[in-house]
Structure 1
Amino acid sequence: MAVPKRKTSKSAKHARRTHKKLSSSSVSYDSILGEYKRSHYISPDGYYKGRKVIG
């Protein structure tokens, strides 16, 4: 069975986990609705990139 030879220090442990974090979602301003929305999502009215795609 493999056993570590030394204890992993806190700095080494944290350095290994630096990429494991949540990123904020991208938000853009929708000029048609006049409010902010998440990028690459259809608005509740069915608009995407200024065009009506649903309904």
Structure 2
Amino acid sequence: MGVAQHRQSKSRVRKRRAMWKLTAPNHIECPQCHKPKMPHHVCPSCGYYKAKEVISMGE
């Protein structure tokens, strides 16, 4: 690991840390029930994934 040779200024540290922000998760529309869901996940409303029912939702 490298050891800092000189103190970094506040502005330099803050410029580097400016990229550490969080991004909001993407949501797509479920093709079965048309409610928002996370991509590559089973729909929590209807239980479908890739046009197949993988979780039976009690109706």
- TM bucket, shorter chain: 0.5 to 0.7
- Which runs of 4 or more aligned residues in structure 1 lie more than 3 Å from their structure 2 counterparts after TM superposition? 2-5
Gaps of 5+ in 2: none
Q: TM-score, normalised by structure 1?
A: 0.65
SS of the aligned residue for 1:39 comes to: coil
Q: What's the Cα RMSD here?
A: 2.2
Distance 1:34 1:10, change over 3 A: same
Aligned equivalent of 1:40 = 40
User: C-alpha distance in 2, partners of 1:50/1:18?
Assistant: 41
TM-superposed CA distance for 1:39, in Å, is: 1.2
Aligned length: 53
Q: TM-score, normalised by structure 2?
A: 0.63
1:26-49 alpha-carbon deviations (Å, 9 max, x no partner): 111112111111112211232112
Gaps of 5+ in 1: none
**What's the % identity of the aligned pairs?**
30
Distance 1:50 1:20, change over 3 A: same
